[in-house]
Every structure is written in C-alpha cells, then in structure tokens.
Chain A
Amino acid sequence: MNNLEKYTKVFTETFEIPEEEVQSLKYQDIKAWDSVGHMGLVAKLEEAFDIMMETDDIIDLSSFEKGKEILAKYDVEIK
C-alpha cells in the first residue's frame, strides 16, 4: 500500500465513509468529523505513519488536502 492509499484508508476508516467522499472532505463537513473524530483521526495518522504531531499542526489539519501538506512536514509524502 502506498502512502496515499494508507492516508485515504485512515480517513475512510475513521469516519466510515466511502473513498470518493474523502477527497473534498473538510473538518465538520460530516458529523463524524467533530472534535472527538478529529483527535481519533490524528491518533490514527500518527500510528499509520509513525509520527508525533505538533499541537499547531493538529489544529491546522482542517481538510483531507491540508493534511497532505502537514504530513509533508514530517517527511511523509502523500502521493
């Protein structure tokens, strides 16, 4: 599984939504991505990519797209 697949899978599993809905997803677009869902997402991303995210980045992670940029900071290239 490449990083993009892994990254996408974290989103689909955390929020229990199909892959096609993930691409344009933003924080609070759906019920599952509330503040609790958000921290669940971060915990899963950290585990999947073996990183520890900074507080500012956790707050900045406002969409599926934005998350890719943030992970790049941790040398995780989502392609």
Chain B
Amino acid sequence: MIEYTPQNIRMWSLLGSCGAFGTAASALPEIDKNILILTADLCYYSGLTRFKETYPDKLINVGIAEQNLIGVAAGLAKEGFNPFVTTYASFASLRCADQVKVNMGYMKLPVKLIGLTSGLSVGILGPTHMCTEDIAVMRSIPNITILSPADCTETVKCVLEAAKINSPVYIRLTGSFNNPAVYKKDYDFHLYSADTIKNGDDITIIATGSMVFNSIKAAQILEKRGLNSTVINMHTLKPLDIEIIKKSCKTKLIVTVEEHSIYGGLGAAVSETLGAINRKPKHLIIGISDEYKHAGEYKYLLEQYGLSPEQIAEKIEKSYKET
C-alpha cells in the first residue's frame, strides 16, 4: 500500500523520479498479480533493487538491448501480463521508435513504457542521454496514452493509474534527485483532466513535467510585478484536455512551458488545438530551442535554455507587454 504521508512525499522527492517510480513499482503486484517489470540493464537505476528482492520472478532484465526489450514486453502483454518497461527516455522513444510504433501503436499491446530521465536532468552525460524529443515522437504514434507527471508524488500516482489501463502508456519522467514537490500533500489525481494549480486572470501558463514547479515560481514572480496567472499542470499529454485549453482563451496570453523541444511537444499540442478556435489569445511556446547545447549539469542547462523560473517570468512578461 502506498501512503501519501508528508514523509513519503519528501522521500520520493529526494529519490527523484526514477526512485519514485521504483517505490511505486513495489506496490504494483498488490494491484495486479500479472504485473511484470522489464528493464534493459537499468534495474538499479530505475529504483528497482527492492522490487527485485521482493519479487525476483517478476523482474526481467534483458540486458542492454532496448529493441528486444519492447518486443519481449509486447509478447508478454499479449499473453495477458501487465508489463512495465524501463529505459532512458531517449532510447525508449528514439532508439525503439519503430518497435513502439508496431507493438504499442499498431498492435495496441498494453505495454507501459517508462522513459527515465527525460529532458535535461542527465545533461552532464551529454545529448545522447538528454531527451528533448520524446513527446514529439510518442504523440505522433496512435493509441498511446502519454503521461508527464509534475513531481515525484504525481509520478507515483501516474504509475499506479497506468497499471489499471489496458492499453499502451508512455510515462515521461523528468526532474532529478531532490526534485521539488508541486504537491506537498495527497490530492485527487484524474487521468486525462489537467489540474489547475492556481487561478489568475491575465495569463494562462500551461506546463508539464518538471516545468510545472518552475511555472508556479514564475507565476509568483509575475504576481509581484502585477500580473496574475493561472497555472495548469497538463500531466496527460495525450489525449489532451481540450476543454481546459478552450477555457484558457479567456486570458490575454497563453504560455506553454516544457522541458522538451519547442517542436512537437506540449506547445505544439496546445497550438494545434488553438488553431481551430476563432477567438484566441496569443500563444507563447517556452521550451528547448532547436539545438544541442554543450553537456552540463541540470541547473546549468536549464539556465542555458532559459527555463529557470526567473527566465520564464521574463519571457512571459515581455510577451504579455507586446500583446
């Protein structure tokens, strides 16, 4: 049983998204006896050491072979198992794009794919391990639900919810060790319905993953400058909560913030929706510019790409003044 105590919430934050996944994983076999976890040599990294000790027969490590990983999971799913699969987001989405397309998209086999360390959190390892493309890839493949939790508590909730879905799911994990908490206590999480964290009349900031926290901070900065923002956590990227985007059209500016390429991600998804609406405000897309920057630590890279709360606030204020 997972308990959303302040101590557990703090512990998941400290562990970061991978560790939070691992903790949630240990609760999965209680939900569904057909749970299996597969990994490509990232058992420890996925926080699964304890899971492996408790359920040695439910942990399948296929070695450093991600393409095979997806196929093996798909075969198991077809035989009635509920497989969760972990690998770096970059390999999950790009290296295995065709395997994901055929097995999860085309055949709709209910594999739950966990993309570890998406975004810039392991940027010190260089662009091979960063992942700023996965939403774009996954979003273009039919039949896959895409989740992007805002913090470690939401990661736990997403994992538990994904276990109940009998169709393919991709969970994008962002942030790192000692991840800031958006939700400091238990809350109601509803798949497919975005969560409005704060209300304001001037601007709507729609954020996903790690950028929800930074957007809340940015909204606080803006508030001191007299601008009130609504902040929305778009934890489900597909299917997208269209209604909340329509409602956002009441404000003068819509901003999307994501630790993902400015192409093909949350910003693109929101603008695709806005395109069909007659009267709509300007839409500012804040995300990773179209370039691979030099390797660096997480915080440094966020600043390099202009994704710190201060930088986000700056960009929003400038854009708002130009409307």
Contact = CB atoms under 8 A, between A and B. Distances in A.
Direct touch of chains A and B (CB < 8 A): yes
- Do most interface residues of chain A lie in helix, strand or loop, or is the interface mixed? helix
Interface in B51-84: 53
B55 to A, nearest CB: 15
A27 to B, nearest CB: 14
User: Contact residue range for chain B?
Assistant: 10 to 19
Interface centre among B14, B15, B22, B53 (most CB of A within 10 A): B14
A40 B50 contact: no
Contacts of B8: 43
Interface string B166-179: 00000000000110
A39 B15 contact: yes
A40 B49 contact: no
Contact of B7 (A34, A40, A55): A40
Interface string A19-52: 0000000000001001110011011101100000
Contacts of A43: 7-8, 10-11, 14
29 contacts: A34-B49, A34-B50, A35-B15, A35-B19, A35-B47, A35-B49, A36-B11, A36-B19, A36-B22, A36-B23, A36-B47, A36-B49, A36-B50, A39-B11, A39-B12, A39-B15, A40-B7, A42-B11, A42-B14, A43-B7, A43-B8, A43-B10, A43-B14, A44-B7, A46-B10, A47-B7, A47-B10, A55-B177, A55-B178
Interface of B: 6-8, 10-12, 14-15, 19, 22-23, 47, 49-50, 53, 177-178
